[in-house]
Amino acid sequence: MKMICCMDAVLRYLGIFFLAPVLLMSCADDNNSNAVGPNTQSEISSSSLSSAAESNGKSSSSVSSSSKDSKSVYGKIGKSMTVFGLAQNGPYADSSVVKLTVLDESTLEPTEQVFAGIVDGGFGGYSVKADSLKSNVVRVSVSGKYLEAKSGRLSENELTLYALTDLDVHDSVNVNLFTTLEYERVRELVKNKKLSFADAKNQARNELLDAFHVAVKDENGKDVNFDDPESWSVYGIRDIENRDEDKVLMGITAIFSPFHGNFFESFVKDFAEDFAKDGKWDSDSTRKKIADAAYNLNMSILSGDVIIPADIQSIRSTMTKWRSIYTTGFDLSNIASNVILPDFESVIDGFWLAEYGLDKCDNKNLGKVAKTSFGSYFTCKEDTRTRTGIRWLSSSILEANTYGIKCESTDYFITETTDRTPFSYVCDYGKWRNALDVEGMVGLCTSEKEGSLEDTDLFGYVCKSKKWEIFTDSLEDKVSGKRYAYRKAARIYWMIDDWRDTTFTWAEAQCPDGWKLPTEDEWEELSKQLAGVTANGSQLRLVHVGESNTWWSSTEKNDSLAVTANVWHHPRSYDESLRFNLTISALEKDRQAAVRCVKKP
């Protein structure tokens, strides 16, 4: 009955609107033993949603300047009050457990006073009634499942988040990732550094902002005044402009969104404990993991012919849905349709750029190769898959191994091999390229070598006009008059076109005088030297995208089968397009296959 009621309410207001799956998290599944929390929530009504939104939409400034809720008498120890807030790593599901623990103000150790409540009324809102408070300093914890920013779905695992606050300042307390990350640091500063709670909160907040490379001073060196993080929200605040605080929280929540389950909780715990010691990240491995996660949020994936959008697009879409409901006070009959989220992506980009030690990738830096603080290499390149059309991408081996070596437009030289760079590279008048195998063996083509021939295991080369070219010649078909080009590869001459541009049975497969069908061993040796590199195979016109080709050999398997060479090249991605497979198999002699002829020098 409960599921039917909720579904009916959602569909009545939203039809097939995209928020239906999100709001269904408020409806507990009576028949599911793994449902979130105890099944004690009441039916959701539009009035209860509106009430929760009104209570949870206050900032710290609006709370302190507004008249106190009639239920609340805060700022006076020993009195009772009702504490409201939002539980967010994404909205927590209804029936998630909320605990308000009263703390000793001088040590932040828990007292015996603990008050409990649950998330209720939709979209992460909670309230806890506290009686006869012995201290205004409290810890609010929330345990349960939540809607993930990346997928928009309910998390598989429960997660516990914390917030520390002074109820003399806030009676609206949001619990989020930032309040959790600062939690242990605040405790350290109060308990061991003997700071006041207010000073500890300010210092921990600024240290954590600095850790994420969010400026805590403006361009004139003046402090930027951030509200306490227990007032921040991934929804923003209704009826006012987007705040920097909410933008920061959205960005940090997005940065951590790739982490899931028990790993996520232990990862957050390890980070918080490391940060608690001195307000810095001392673990390079932790910093790198988070920086890599932030960087990869902007990466689209090419799967076959399909581009899978970057995670950041999904996160923005999900947060926009959350914001659109929140800005209307959960009034389902008046869903906001033109919600604009702040540029929280700038928080993400600013973080990983600073951690990597990179400047902004823009037209000024296009083509620049840079070494990150973690020792990897990135190149500023055009990339139409990203929202900016240009970004830092992992450098190629060539770009990484030539980093820091000057290559001017007048330079023409080859590098020496080293333990770090086992391959040679050529500065070709201002542009780097991989050295040809002949260049690695005998050096660059110079005027002194003009016209000379050099053989390598891969190709035969001739030096022409200061460039090594693959030796190419041709012969004439006396029947058709057509000329057929051939090149030297694997130390014999190979035709680079199919003989007479047709197919033959094995018995019909003939070559012109002085030429012959290649043996199985010769095909095997060619395959070995080409090494599956598409660029090498293309020099002999063996590789054509989207095509499959079969050629005869002179080697028989038995009376009915002969050995063939086969190339199948149907790449599903750019990386796959760089490689090809030349395989050896057998074919019935009366079937059709193409002919490539060879000749020994």
pLDDT score recorded for residue 413: 96
Per-residue confidence (pLDDT) for residue 454, from 0 to 100: 95
User: Is 423 inside a domain boundary?
Assistant: no
Please give the DSSP secondary-structure letter assigned to residue 43.
Answer: P
Identify which of 213, 333, 221, 206 has the alpha carbon closest to the alpha carbon of residue 279: 206
pTM (predicted TM-score): 0.73
- Structural domain ending residue among the three candidates 316, 334, 352: 334
Q: How many Cα atoms occupy the beta-carbon half-sphere of 192 within 13 Å?
A: 8
374 located within any domain: no
Give how far the C-alpha of residue 28 lies from the chain's centroid of Cα atoms, to the nearest Å.
33
Task: Identify the domain boundary among 318, 334, 350.
Answer: 334
Residue 80 is encoded by which pair of tokens? Answer: 């009772």
pLDDT tops 80 at residue 69:
no
pLDDT value of residue 19: 38
Residue 239's pLDDT band (cuts 50, 70, 90) = low
Within a domain: residue 441?
no
353 lies in some domain: no
Task: Identify the domain boundary among 270, 299, 334.
Answer: 334
The answer to whether position 501 is within a domain reads yes
**pLDDT per residue as tens digits for the range 500-512:** 999 999 999 999 9
Higher pLDDT, 421 or 204: 204
326 part of a folded domain: yes
Q: How far apart are the first and last CA of the chain?
A: 87
Higher pLDDT, residue 68 or 570: 570
Q: What is the domain count for the chain? A: 2
Mean per-residue pLDDT for 330-347?
67
pLDDT score for 302: 54
What number is the average pLDDT over the span 464-481? 94
> In this structure, what are the phi and psi dihedrals at residue 476, rounded to the nearest 5 degrees?
-100, 135
Is 508 within the bounds of a domain?
Answer: yes
- At 339 the pLDDT is 62
| 415 found inside a domain | no
Range of the domain at 592: 493-599
* Cβ atoms of 93 and 41 closer than 8 Å: no
